[in-house]
Amino acid sequence: MGIFSNILEKLGMGSPKVVPQPPVASAPVPQAPADAPAPAVAAPPPVASITMVDVMALMEKKAAANPQKLNWKTSIVDLLKLLDLDSSLEARKQLAKELYCPDELMGDSAKMNMWLHKNVLAHIAANGGNIPKDMLD
């Protein structure tokens, strides 16, 4: 399990689960003439279900209860601290690699941190978190 999976777990979000579709009752199919193309009948594929999580409210609640003044909206270190996850440089580098941070940013921790914060929020949003658009730009 990677660091990003731990972030989702702390937010009450897991990986999207596949919801099985109910079986489709098949009606008798009338025989078509031999020269007619056969109708394509296929069951729909399973649909991934993403439950929306109010990340903003959850994080604000955690921030209010935390004795430290953590600016999780702009700092990846504070975001990780608020979720009780390792925020060390090594852990952030590992998370950056997990999210495919460009190599040229990995040597500059400030640039990596800015990239990482933006991408973690974007990945949370992609997994059903309600991250405001202005935080993703």
Per residue in 86-130, pLDDT (tens digit) is 999 999 999 999 999 999 999 999 999 999 999 999 999 999 999
Beta bridge partners of residue 48, listed in sequence order: 18
In percent, the amount of the chain with pLDDT more than 70 equals: 72
Count of other CB atoms within 10 angstroms of residue 132: 12
Give yes or no for residue 14 having a pLDDT over 50. yes
Element housing 47 (H / E): strand 47-49
Give yes or no for residue 21 having a pLDDT over 90. no
In percent, the amount of the chain with pLDDT more than 90 equals: 65
The alpha helices in the chain, defined as continuous H runs, are 3-10, 55-65, 76-82, 89-98, 103-106, 109-126, 133-136
**Average pLDDT of the residues of the chain:** 82
